[in-house]
Amino acid sequence: MSDLVAIAYQDLDTARQVAANLGEAQKQHLEKAVAEAVRREQEKLAEQQRQMQAMIREMLAKQRAELEEEIRRREEALGRKPPAAAPAAPAVDREVVFWESIKNSTNPEDFKAYLSQYPKGAFVSLAQTRLNPASAPAQPAAPALSDPLADRSDPLQVASVAPTWTAVADS
């Protein structure tokens, strides 16, 4: 395939050399003709490539079907059920993936991008809060947890239990 393109470009160079000896109008006409020939050759090559790719896809699909049929026949001959088709992988929730990638960001542009891409998304309120933290409603402070043992004056006693072992007789 690249050999044909190389030949076409060699022909173009040869045509340019010939054109050097011709008049300006003839040069332009010749260059247009050569450029058109190169373009047609490139289109042919691209079409051949598409056809080859289609043939390869068809061959692979046919081979896969033949292999699956052979596996089914062998499984039946062995008295086994043919293997069930693998369950489809769950669809990736692009919104969740996007949110997970920006949720700890400090760049407001990340949240603007989320809001523009998912204006009715599951994380809109969080994105708006992160985008405008001053407008977020104040959340009540969590009550302080107190240590119930902190104000004890007597020492704390902890019981200790020794493990008990049971012998197991060999059968």
Percentage of the chain modeled with pLDDT above 70: 63
76 contacts 82 by C-beta, under 8 angstroms = yes
pLDDT in tens, 26-42: 878 888 899 999 999 99
pLDDT in tens, 96-139: 999 899 989 888 999 999 999 999 999 999 999 988 877 655 55
Query: 80 vs 15, 70, 75, 84, CA distance in Å?
Result: 70, 14, 5, 11
3-state SS assignment for residue 155: coil
pLDDT surpassing 80 at residue 169: no
Query: 41 vs 36, 44, 75, CA distance in Å?
Result: 9, 5, 51
